Amino acid sequence: MVYFYPKDDTPGCTAEACSFRDQFADFQDLGAQIVGISSDSVQSHKNFKEKHQLPYILLADTAGEVRKAFGVKGTLFGLVPGRVTFIFDKKGKLIHEFSSQINVLKHVQEAVAILKKNQ
């Protein structure tokens, strides 16, 4: 499972990241790994991860290449990086994509529901 988010330590992104953290055991039970990606630096991710005790991988996509490869578009005329979650099966096939800039907690709910459905 890969989720793209706009920026470390902003209110919505922190709520989303902590929600993934709080349900981390559920994802492990479902055999899923969580990878969060934003354009923040490695140091920013390290600080964000430590501050909020995030038990999963955060990747720095400072040039936006991974975001572009996944086709994640910005919002507000491209000024704010998009918030999109991609769910893959165990073979690496994309089985679900969810995009919502403002409904940050729905990303976790959608991911758990889809993973349970596809077990």
Query: What CATH number is associated with residue 72?
Result: 3.40.30.10
pTM: 0.93
Domain containing 62 equals: 2-117
Rounded CA-CA distance 109/103 in Å is 10
How many domains are there within the chain?
Answer: 1
Which residues have a Cβ under 8 Å from the Cβ of 8 and sit 6 or more positions away? 38, 40, 44, 45, 47, 48
Per-residue pLDDT of the chain (119 residues; tens, 9 = 90+): 999 999 999 999 999 999 999 999 999 999 999 999 999 999 999 999 999 999 999 999 999 999 999 999 877 665 678 899 999 998 899 999 999 988 888 999 999 999 999 88
Query: Which residues in 48-84 are b (16+ Cβ under 10 Å) and which e?
Result: bbeeeebebebebbeeeebbeebebeeeeeeeebbbb
Rounded CA-CA distance 60/37 in Å is 6
Mapped onto helix, strand or coil, the DSSP state of residue 28 is: helix
Active site residue 18: no
Please tell me the number of Cα atoms within 13 Å of 4 on its side-chain side: 26
Catalytic residue among 1, 3, 4, 13: 13
